[in-house]
Amino acid sequence: MIHLVGCSHHNTPVEIRERLAFSPEQARCALESFRQEFPQAEAVVLSTCNRVEFYTAAESTAAVVSHEQMARFLAHFHGLDPDAVFGQLFRHSGREAVLHLFTVAAGLDSMVLGEPQIRAQVKQAYELACRCDTAGPITHAVFQAALKAARRVSNETTIHRKRVSVPSVAVAEFAKQIFERFDDKQLLVIGAGEMAEETLRYATDEGARHITVVNRSWDRACQLAQRWNGQARPWEELLDALAQADMVISTTGATEPIVRLEEFRQIEPLRYQRPLLILDLAIPRDFDPAIGDCLGVYLFSIDDLQEVCRQNLQERQRELPTAMAILEEETTQFMAELNRRATGPIIHQLKQDWHQVKEEELARLFNKLPHLDQRSREEIRYAFHRLVNKLLHPPLESLRDHAREGVPHGLLEALKKLFQLPE
């Protein structure tokens, strides 16, 4: 049995998510505490900026942790009121929980459809549970299956290939049209905010190595440059840095252009007509639009990028039905295997017990009829064998049918009690 409680950007305000979120160290402590409280249950905690999800699983009814117990555990860990927390959480079980996890791992439940980072976060959550010894047979199976399903979506659809954030589009769909390689280019970053850093991250992923940061705040320029093994230059040297640059990422909060056409004309002779890509991601714009008409300059504003983002998001959404069909197929296969694992031991034990009784009764009968020849004995043995199989056929066939559709946990427990089967 698999249970899930959680909250996400879909249904819970950010102030609630923040109070339920886990740092990596908190997640480790929570899993260790859970293991002490519920030693026979499995657990995985997935905590990102947009979601907190708590998965538990158990192979026996005695070890199952209810949704209420899971919510109470989360609340107590964070020092919150359990009654207030429970109403903020969504709850899934069985197939519904499995499909949800597969959807999350594939990036189809993310704020940005098709976000690729979530797959790594799911993997990290599972690996932490393994290190804390709270993963077990069921969580091993379901998280490995989730990562496999996510890879299928990535390989068989284009949902992850179309960039939808401004920084990723700036690099992947604009910069790469101008430059085949980045490792030999001079990259100038103007501004030191989140947009600058995220765009810089994509550029370095593509190979950018020679980085210069210019910002009005010298301290912030130095901090950003240090994080990316670059160099900082004073704001007063902006035009000199621009003269040496091949690619510019500009994201300041200035209220008017920081580089006007007449200023660019001053450094234009120093550039010797080398191509210059300017990604002006600021609002208002940092660069005079007329600079885009200069020889060798490729100037793109945030409006240019946002239009591509919009088109790419539409293409991702068109791929959504195909991706969901893959996840439905993977979920069905996983549940069939999970149910087969649950029913297999019961079917095996039932057959073994009944055939053992058959053999005992045959031995008793043959002891009373010692005059029977071998052929008669074989006929009787065959008749007993057929009788047992016919008696077993209806309950076992029903059990197999349920296994294909999702066997109710109560049915398994009823069979164990009815036929006095061991756990």
Q: Which of 169, 271, 263, 254 is nearest to 217 (CA)?
A: 254
Residues whose CB falls within 8 Å of the CB of residue 134, separated by 6 or more in sequence, listed in order: 31, 32, 34, 35, 42, 43, 44
Q: Are 347 and 403 in contact (CB under 8 A)?
A: no
Query: Within 10 Å of residue 319's Cβ, how many Cβ atoms?
Result: 20
∠289-284-195 over CA atoms, to 5°? 105
Task: Note if 132 is an active site residue.
Answer: no
What gap in Å lies between CA 174 and CA 178, rounded to an integer?
7
∠120-47-227 over CA atoms, to 5°? 60
**Residues forming a β-bridge with 232:** 213
Determine which one of 29, 49, 132, 309 is catalytic.
49
Residue type, 352: Q
Residues whose CB falls within 8 Å of the CB of residue 2, separated by 6 or more in sequence, listed in order: 55, 56, 57, 93, 94, 97, 98, 138, 142
Given strand 297-301, what is the order of strands in its sheet?
Answer: 231-233, 210-214, 186-190, 247-250, 276-280, 297-301
Supply the residues annotated as catalytic. 49
